[in-house]
Amino acid sequence: MSSNEQSDWHGMQTPVLFNHHIPLEINSTTIQHIDLNPIESTPKAVANGERVLILTPLRDASVYINKYFDLLSELTYPHGLIDLAFLVGDSTDDTMAVLAAELDRVQKRTDKIPFRSAKIIEKDFGVLHHQDVEDRHSFAAQGPRRKAIGKARNYLLYSALQPEHSWVYWRDVDIVDSPSGILEDFVAHDRDILVPNIWFHRYKDGVDIEGRFDYNSWQESEIGLALAASLEKDVILAEGYKEYVTGRTHMAKIGDWRGNQDEEIPLDGIGGVNILVKADVHRSGINFPSYSFENQAETEGFAKMAKRAGYGVYGLPNYVVWHIDTDEKPGNA
């Protein structure tokens, strides 16, 4: 550049064009924007204000509902972060009325007990098997029963899960005792899927035998894999029946509430009495198969499906939640 050109250049003002994009404004009330990116499931769930969805399927459960809400009211996780949802189906007793009355009682309170919201879903599936212990836990009933429960769980899940939920806590209605801080205890483990051990109280001659209840939480075995490989794909395996010996290691047999409650073990199948799930596991399509998935259905099929998708499934053998004694097991078989 010559001296004359340089002089001319310094005498000019360079135009600057600021090309800011004008935001796109959407005013239609029929369009909703949902951003799932901020929704996380972390070990610091309370501090982060993470929402929990508690799901409970119900059928002929009126006698258990009062105790259920007594225990739920004792949960120390902030109730303002908890949403409740129930599915009532194929009931022949007064489950719906008792549930509605209890919810109304709890939600009318003026203290910190009421929950953020509550929802009741009603759906009948045409289930015909009876709810008595002998019929419900017979070997012949297991396949159809587990398929029906899986379907009920899925209807409840898809009717209740909202974008704001970080955790899904499946809790059966017939729990008789559990730690009030169970949600905080479980989220601290930061696992995709986590279950406790399930026992029951039974007193003989004034002594509690501390019976083991849930044999659906297990670690797979070579015997179980070989058995499944030999079966038709539509056959559903069930634990604790002489018809199929699986050789699996059951968490119910290896834990003790007197031990370290934070001890974890990996699991391949889980029971459904008490499950904490990161909500994104469900959002990713992991549900409760109402059909045979790797020769399992419902919660055990859910665990198999989750592991196939790369999620972690764990149990706490020394963290015990107490179930009602249904008398179908001798105790510590």
Q: Which residue has the tokens 């015990």?
A: 320
State the Cα–Cα distance between residues 160 and 173, nearest whole angstrom.
Answer: 17
Q: Kindly report the CA angle at 250 between 248 and 253, in degrees rounded to 5?
A: 135
Asked if residue 185 lies in contact with residue 76, where contact means CB atoms within 8 angstroms, the answer is no
Give the model confidence (pLDDT) of 56-70 as tens digits: 999 999 999 999 999
State the Cα–Cα distance between residues 107 and 125, nearest whole angstrom.
Answer: 29
State the Cα–Cα distance between residues 237 and 245, nearest whole angstrom.
Answer: 9
- To the nearest whole percent, how much of the chain has pLDDT over 70? 91
Residue 179: the pLDDT is 98
Closest residue by Cα to residue 56 from 157, 181, 163: 157
Q: Please check the confidence at residue 315 and state whether its pLDDT lies above 50.
A: yes
Does pTM top 0.85 for this prediction? yes
Better pLDDT: 311 or 140: 311
State the Cα–Cα distance between residues 172 and 58, nearest whole angstrom.
Answer: 8
Beta strands in 29-103 (DSSP E): 51-58, 82-88
State the Cα–Cα distance between residues 199 and 266, nearest whole angstrom.
Answer: 19
Reported as a pLDDT band with limits 50, 70 and 90, residue 332 is: very low
